């Protein structure tokens, strides 16, 4: 073994050019294969975040990035007279309500896809995936046409002799309904993956040992399916807290969410530094929640590595 190692080193030394630089480290094949992906993430993800961070420290209503340093944007956000925190609370409230409702709606469907539907599971999954092929704005405007006054629902009821349909558009309840409808697949499929990790034999064994349905669900199904449930919850919350189309289209801007405030700062107000500071705070909030949730995930087990 030692003689082979020495001969290999001698061969490497003989074949390497005399003036070739010696690298301080050697990349593994996996690291070299990941370099293109790391470069793409650096350009498409890290670079925009760094640009937003730099803009957040620029003077208000200016583009003097890296030429001047100012904390005025953060001071304005944390001032008592600023109403942006009301928008932030609305976004958190909508996101939490969406997660809770989707957990209650998606779990029975995920259970059916895993244990009940059998050969029909593929067809049911396609039915839930199919709306994703249509633009979210198109689907939301379809809701507007359905519920608007003299629209599909209201006009049909009047044609049948009724007084008309309920005016539910441009309310907070309609915003929440639109978010539940939009983000259902993002909760459903991770939850289905989590339930698929629960061995059927284990459930049968627990039943044979006298465990009831509630006890099996509480002590067997939910703990083993928790990685998928947490991923679905986290994904849904992150998407819902950044949602803006539902509030603008279905809510008619009756409720201003945090993403709308960021959009206004970057567009109508032309105050990029303030919008950047607000985006940094939202990113830090979501990033902290993400890291806390990932600490409870066993990714090796979820990916089937052990």
Say if 19 falls within a structural domain: no
Residue 292 lies in a domain: yes
Q: What is the pLDDT of residues 79-98, one digit of tens each?
A: 867 788 899 999 999 999 99
How distant, in Å, are the alpha carbons of 59, 77, 272 from that of 68?
7, 19, 14
Range of the domain at 178: 74-302
Least confident of 57-61, 75-79, 294-298: 294-298
Q: Is residue 25 part of a domain?
A: no
Q: What is the pLDDT of residue 4?
A: 44
Residue 34 lies in a domain: no
Q: Is residue 63 part of a domain?
A: no
How high is the pLDDT of residue 302? Answer: 55
pLDDT digits (tens, 9 = 90+) for 235-273: 999 999 999 999 999 998 888 999 999 999 999 888 999
- What is the distance between the alpha carbons of residues 163 and 159, in angstroms, rounded to a whole number? 9
For residue 100, give both structure tokens: 């809770």
Q: Which one has a higher pLDDT value, 26 or 277?
A: 277
- Asked whether residue 204 carries a pLDDT value surpassing 90, the answer given is no
At 299, is the pLDDT very low, low, confident or very high (cuts 50, 70, 90)?
Answer: low
Instruction: Judge whether 9 lies within some domain.
Output: no
Q: What CATH number is associated with residue 145?
A: 1.10.3720.10
Q: How many domains would you assign to the chain? A: 1
Query: Cβ(270)–Cβ(257) under 8 Å?
Result: no
Q: Decide: 255 and 44 in contact? Cβ < 8 Å.
A: no
Token pair 């009047």: residue: 158
Sign of torsion, CA 197 202 207 211?
negative
């Amino acid at each position: 073994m030692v003689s082979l190692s020495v001969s290999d080193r001698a061969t490497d030394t003989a074949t390497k050019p005399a003036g070739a630089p010696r690298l301080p480290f050697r990349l593994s094949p996996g690291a070299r294969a990941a370099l293109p992906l790391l470069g793409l993430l650096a350009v498409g993800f890290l670079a925009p975040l760094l640009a937003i961070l730099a803009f957040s420290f620029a003077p208000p209503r200016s583009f003097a990035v890296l030429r001047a340093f100012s904390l005025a944007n953060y001071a304005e956000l944390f001032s008592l007279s600023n109403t942006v925190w009301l928008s932030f609370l609305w976004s958190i409230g909508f996101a939490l309500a969406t997660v809770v409702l989707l957990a209650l709606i998606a779990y029975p469907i995920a259970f059916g896809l895993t244990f009940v539907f059998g050969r029909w599971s593929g067809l049911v999954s396609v039915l839930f995936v199919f709306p994703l092929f249509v633009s979210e704005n198109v689907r939301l405007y379809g809701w507007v046409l359905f519920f608007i006054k003299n629209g599909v629902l209201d006009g049909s009821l009047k044609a049948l002799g009724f007084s008309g349909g309920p005016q539910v558009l441009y309310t907070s309840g309609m915003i929440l309904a639109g978010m539940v409808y939009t983000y259902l697949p993002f909760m459903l499929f991770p939850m289905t993956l989590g339930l698929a990790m629960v061995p059927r034999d284990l459930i049968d064994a627990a039943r044979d040992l006298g465990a009831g349905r509630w006890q099996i669900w509480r002590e067997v199904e939910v703990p083993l399916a928790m990685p998928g449930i947490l991923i679905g919850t986290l994904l849904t919350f992150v998407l819902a807290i950044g949602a803006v189309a539902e509030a603008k289209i279905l809510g008619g801007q009756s409720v201003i969410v945090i993403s709308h405030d960021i959009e206004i700062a970057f567009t109508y107000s032309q105050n990029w530094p303030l919008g950047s500071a607000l985006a940094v705070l939202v990113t830090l909030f979501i990033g902290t929640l993400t890291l806390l949730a990932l600490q409870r995930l066993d990714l090796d087990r979820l990916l089937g590595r052990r």
